[in-house]
Amino acid sequence: MSDQERKIVSVGSRLSKFIGSKSTREKRLQAAAMQAEFTLRDTLIILCYLSRDPDTEISSQARKNLIPAARNWYTRPDRPELPEPIHEIVIKVIEKIGLGEKADKPLAEFESVQGNIGLLGLGEIIQAVDHNSRTVWIKVKGPQETATVFTENGKVVGATYLDYDGMDALYQAFGWIDADFEYVHAAPGDFKNRIKVNTLNLVMDALEHAPDEDPYEREISRTWRVNGHLKVMNIFEIAEVFEMNAKMAMCHLKQAGDEGFLYFKNGRIVNAQLAGMTGMDAACHLLAWPNATFVIQRGGEGVEEVIHVGMQNLIIEAMRLLDEGVTVSDKVASELAIIDELFEGKDLFMLPVLDKVRLVFSDDQKARESLETDSNPLVRKAIKVKISKTVHKYISAATEHDVRLRAAQGNVPVSTTEKLVLLSYLSHDESQAVREAAKKTLASLDIPTYKKGFGSDLHPSVMDFLVRETIRDESVIGFACASESILEETALYILDNWKNEEVYTRLAENKKLLEKSPAVAEKLFGVVTDPNLKRQIENLEEAILSGKTDFKVEGPLGLFGLLGITRSARHGMRSGTIVLESPSLSGKVFLRKGRPIGATWGDLTGISALKEMLKTTGIRFRYVTRTCFHQENMDASAAEELLEMTTPAFDPQEIEGTGRLIVGSLGVMDIFEALSALEGTPVPVMMSVVCEEGSGEIYRDKSRVLHAHVSGKEGSLQSMAALVSWNGIRFLIRPADPGFPVSLDKTLLDFFTEAMKLIPNEMASVPRPGELPEWELSEAEFESLYNKILNMGVAEKIKLALMGSKEARDILVRDSNKMVAVAVAKSPKLQESEVETISKSRQVCEEVLRQIAGTKEWMKSYTIKLNLASNSKTPIPIAMKLLSQIREPDLRKLAKSKNVSAAISTQARRLVEAKGDKS
């Protein structure tokens, strides 16, 4: 539009704060995401304006919300008058995508999914809707009338049933677990009370109103069916539902004369059939079907389990295997794809997840570049797989030098993110010419290239390398600060080396970073001088302490007890805050590296507060790894002694009903730490663990681990090894049902130590799509790794010790937790040169040296035997035994050495004398 044709829209001072020339990125993003209250007229002005914003995250959010806002305007009898240019855009949207059509007209075939709600579950459907940003009606037919749940862009916004409206109507719908339902794509209908509750909290709250009985276990459930079309509910959404409800069922798919079956069990697809294919081959082909009808029913009891990967990895594998053959028919119909002409280019962010994944693996490079900034984990994983394939193509040992050099010079066809990753790897190439060319190309890249790459899901290690070694422009550093994938250690490096308010502001606006990284939030709070920024960080900390975060563990205190939580934190050397609430009082316990340093309870502080907490029943806790508001008002040793000596008050009613659940993030408390927190639990418990690759259960009582189960794994030890090896997400702990399985009787330490032996093989068998090779770390990158390890839990450190890089083993072999240090000595990747270094180190624990001495492979080396015999940290019986294998010149040195114990030097002298007598 020329300057002469440009139409002006006048806005008030309030709107100008959000879309004016001086508006901040945070304000624009807040407005685009509709996180501020506006009239409908102002909402449409803002969304139309921000839909053209150059920041892709802002424009995507605005376009995402424009369609429902236009629908709302179109369907209102009292439509507010719009400025002419805004009116033109809204009318074009309406004309292009047919807004305003009523959902209660007679439905054509395949326009809805229908069947019995008990087969899928209302809560599971709502969560799948959220993950796929669907705008739908879900009608559940109750005994008297139909309850309707309305969603908009994935979020539940309203619900109606008879005279009920809002959450009360939703509770009614959750009360019917054996009822027919209908699921249809449509704009929200009429309702009074807008629901503004986070999806997970909404579902957890509503489930309290659902009956305890599950009719799926009754014979009647075999008659249930759910029918529909993949255009309405695609296979990824169906699989997500069964991943959450863990029911056994089969999905019969038909497409153009072909038919196939997917079999679900325990939250996974376990087998598939298509023509003459079964297992992975059949599943991969079926997952690539964009158009098919389906019928879901209970069944598949006798089907063999042959697929043992989680849903996300299965879909990625399907798309990877079919990379050459997958095409996106009709460019994937989508509302936002239809209104390209309004916004100069295709916006793919509102497509269903599976369609986005298909596009990633298609030949449409422009679409793939657009999706590099998508926030969905599965799409991001797909992008990583595609990038990984590109990188491996140019850096593999078989790639000719000239090809690598051409890639290093930037003369190969790759996307922006692929270019940054590839050049970072080639900067570590064995050829000096390739290294120098790659670094020169990186230095020549313009700011928009870095902005686009940093706005995508750039591999965190690559971003860390670029920030430390390449980038010298402050504006580019700002893009890194705003990236959701930035590592904690990268942000800390930036805070140490880029000291200015603009950088601080960009970090402060990255709420996802501050939420997952207490260390960055604390350091940032200490360096900013702007009082508004300080208050912004304080507000975030207060919100996290109040529970507005996914990075927490919470539930009734009775199962853990304060002693259990502090024990858990001590294992992981974690600092944090335990928020405690009883019906009448509230308080906090402050932890520094697992030690209690302060407490408040009502008006009480210190030891007095702690004593009163231990007498109180009915307490619920929330544990977060935040330290912003710490108070140090008691002696840690005295507090630990009090916790050890006091039997806390316990009321069995604390763990009854829905409130008995402890739910937590494995990033805050890992598997080992959570199980250690349960030492002394008053009742046997079951811990359900959810990972990207699958899920499992662990049973224990106050002193022993009794059973562990993962579908497809043999025995408790193999199951535990799998759960530790996988990428953990969250856990849930509740009292175990009567008659729970018991297959062993081991202490947690013994059980974990034995399972640890199986972890390397288990980790090697886990598909890791998109994983990039390791490169040799520079001094700065080694520092980055060290800071990262400092904030890891026990289980994560053990995984890294077993299967990580040489640099990681160098750090972890000196870890204060003996299990972690010993894991290094058990690593299948450990090299003899590393063992030579470890065996002479006086900074490692006895157990590591004992493990080396007990490994036949290492005891073939004379150097290692001499190092162990000469090391004062080696247990004396082991060193004594080795002396007989030491050569005489070295024995003479040991006999005179002041760095070994007197017993060793004396024995060395005796052996020298004995050899002298013989000669």
DSSP for 853-870, written as a single string: HT-TTGGG-HHHHHHHHH
What is the predicted pLDDT for the residue at 331?
29
Same-domain pairing of 426 and 370: yes
Same-domain pairing of 252 and 316: yes
Token couple for 54:
């150059």
Lowest-confidence region among 593-602, 790-799, 834-843: 790-799
More confident: 637 or 457: 637
Token couple for 156:
């539940």
Same-domain pairing of 646 and 728: no
CA 235 – CA 226 distance, rounded (Å): 13
Can you give the residue range of the structural domain that contains 891? 840-919
- Kindly tell me if the per-residue pLDDT of 107 is higher than 60: no
Q: Could you tell me the sign of the dihedral formed by the alpha carbons of 439, 443, 444, 448, in that order?
A: positive
Q: Is residue 701 part of a domain?
A: yes
Q: Could you tell me the sign of the dihedral formed by the alpha carbons of 164, 167, 168, 169, in that order?
A: positive
Relative orientation angle of helices 606-615 and 636-645, to the nearest 10 degrees:
20
Greatest CA separation for the chain: 113
- Kindly tell me if the per-residue pLDDT of 615 is higher than 80: yes
User: Which residues in 850-887 are b (16+ Cβ under 10 Å) and which e?
Assistant: bbbbeeeebeeeeebbbbbbbbebbeeebbbebbeebe
Same-domain pairing of 479 and 626: no
CA 748 – CA 754 distance, rounded (Å): 10
Lowest-confidence region among 147-156, 433-442, 444-453, 592-601: 444-453
> Residue 284 class from Cβ within 10 Å (0-12 exposed, 13-18 middle, 19+ buried)?
buried
Residue by residue, DSSP assigns 785-812 as: HHHHHHT--HHHHHHHHHHS-HHHHHHH
pLDDT band at 456 (very low <50, low <70, confident <90, very high): low
pLDDT band at 138 (very low <50, low <70, confident <90, very high): very high
Same-domain pairing of 307 and 178: yes
Q: Is residue 6 part of a domain?
A: no
Same-domain pairing of 724 and 863: no
Q: Is residue 740 part of a domain?
A: yes
Residue by residue, DSSP assigns 462-514 as: HHHHHHHHT---HHHHHHHHH-TT--HHHHHHHHHH--SHHHHHHHHH-HHHH
pLDDT band at 801 (very low <50, low <70, confident <90, very high): confident
pLDDT band at 31 (very low <50, low <70, confident <90, very high): confident
Q: Is residue 509 part of a domain?
A: yes
Mean pLDDT of 661-677: 92
Token couple for 105:
């007209």
**Top-confidence range, 65-79, 100-114, 407-421, 493-507:** 493-507
What is the strand order of the sheet 180-185 is part of? 164-165, 155-161, 146-152, 136-141, 180-185, 112-116, 226-229, 293-298, 249-255, 258-265, 268-274, 277-278
Q: Is residue 85 part of a domain?
A: yes
What is the predicted pLDDT for the residue at 157?
93
> Residue 471 class from Cβ within 10 Å (0-12 exposed, 13-18 middle, 19+ buried)?
buried
Q: Is residue 333 part of a domain?
A: no
CA 704 – CA 748 distance, rounded (Å): 6
Same-domain pairing of 654 and 634: yes
pTM reported for the whole predicted model: 0.62
Q: Is residue 857 part of a domain?
A: yes
pLDDT band at 170 (very low <50, low <70, confident <90, very high): very high
* pLDDT tens for each residue of 735-747: 998 889 999 999 9
Token couple for 373:
């900034």
Same-domain pairing of 441 and 494: yes
Q: Which of 506, 523, 543 is the last residue of a domain?
A: 543
Same-domain pairing of 199 and 265: yes
Q: Which of 97, 121, 150 is the last residue of a domain?
A: 97
Q: Which of 64, 97, 130 is the last residue of a domain?
A: 97
Place of tokens 């936002």: 336
Same-domain pairing of 148 and 273: yes
What is the predicted pLDDT for the residue at 651?
66
pLDDT band at 68 (very low <50, low <70, confident <90, very high): confident
Mean pLDDT of 27-37: 82
Q: Where are the alpha helices (DSSP H) in 309-376?
A: 311-321, 335-338, 340-343, 353-360, 365-371
Same-domain pairing of 852 and 804: no
Same-domain pairing of 689 and 641: no
The number of folded domains in the chain is 7
CA 655 – CA 649 distance, rounded (Å): 13
Q: Euclidean distance between the first and final Cα of the chain, in Å?
A: 103
CB distance 741 to 669 below 8 Å: no
* pLDDT tens for each residue of 686-705: 999 988 777 899 999 999 99
CB distance 626 to 518 below 8 Å: yes
Q: Where are the alpha helices (DSSP H) in 647-793?
A: 671-677, 715-725, 748-756, 759-765, 779-790
Contacts of 266 (CB under 8 A, 6+ apart): 246, 248, 694, 695, 711
HSE toward the beta carbon, residue 569, CA cutoff 13 A: 28
Lowest-confidence region among 206-220, 349-363, 724-738, 781-795: 349-363
Q: Is residue 788 part of a domain?
A: yes
Place of tokens 């199951």: 719
CB distance 225 to 178 below 8 Å: no
* pLDDT tens for each residue of 532-570: 999 999 999 999 999 988 899 999 998 899 999 999 999
Lowest-confidence region among 391-395, 438-442, 730-734: 391-395
What is the predicted pLDDT for the residue at 336?
39
Residue by residue, DSSP assigns 691-714 as: ESS-EEEEEE-SS-EEEEE-TT--
